[in-house]
Chain A
Amino acid sequence: AQSVTQLDSHVSVSEGTPVLLRCNYSSSYSPSLFWYVQHPNKGLQLLLKYTSAATLVKGINGFEAEFKKSETSFHLTKPSAHMSDAAEYFCVVSLGGGYNKLIFGAGTRLAVHP
């Protein structure tokens, strides 16, 4: 069965420092993986997606994630945090390898301090 585990419920960084949000997945076959961001009172926004092409995926707003099959990980990174990055981030796996059912991780709340 497919599942995702976000290893940190809260991450706090200073503005201008790197961001690392960790995600491990479990899948019986090659998965499709996504990172979504949810700002307060706003809809979910797709940051990036992995669908068996390049293992290093670049997304919007300077975020990127690397698919590591050997580690079953898909961690989200950004070199330099901005105040506007403060939000809830969800790692998501898709059943069926495409945009079928999405299974959400528990979420990681990112706080960015000046």
Chain B
Amino acid sequence: GAVVSQHPSWVICKSGTSVKIECRSLDFQATTMFWYRQFPKQSLMLMATSNEGSKATYEQGVEKDKFLINHASLTLSTLTVTSAHPEDSSFYICSARDSYNEQFFGPGTRLTVL
């Protein structure tokens, strides 16, 4: 089946720094990717929809200047958490949609902000 990777799988950073998370579709092209956030023992919350070659669409309550999304190619979307703070610590998961409209999820990235 289709594979989606995320890098890094975990990251620890200091408060005030920025962190970039990559989401790649390894064996298919994805014009649309999605970014989710999952707090411990909670469900996934959609943050934004990333469209190749255009601006991302953010869900209500998600700060676009805080969570920068770039989808520069058909196989790569990046999420940058700018000026990270401890409350940004979470599990970030991406998914990629193929030409058959099926979504495949990455393994997630655990971010810890000290």
Contacts and interface: CB of A to CB of B under 8 A. Distances in A.
Interface of A: 36, 41-45, 90, 98-99, 101-107
B43 interface: yes
A31 to B, nearest CB: 15
B4 A43 contact: yes
A102 B97 contact: no
B42 A43 contact: no
Interface stretch (B12-20, B70-78, B80-88, B99-107): B99-107
Contacts, number: 37
Interface of B: 4, 34, 42-46, 49, 93, 95, 97, 101-103, 105-108
B105 A44 contact: yes
A43 B46 contact: no
Q: Counting chain B CB atoms within 10 Å of each CB, which of A99, A104, A105 scores highest?
A: A99
Contacts of B4: 43
Contacts of B103: 99, 102
Given A44-B93, A99-B97, A99-B101, A106 B108 contact: no
A105 B38 CA distance: 12
Contacts of A44: 44, 93, 95, 105
A43 B97 CA distance: 15
A35 to B, nearest CB: 13
A98 B103 CA distance: 10
B106 A101 contact: no
Which of A44, A98, A106 has the most chain B CB atoms closer than 10 A to its own CB?
A: A44
Given A42-B107, A43-B108, A101 B42 contact: no
Nearest to A96: B101
Contacts of B108: 43
A36 to B, nearest CB: 8
Contacts of A102: 34, 46, 95, 103
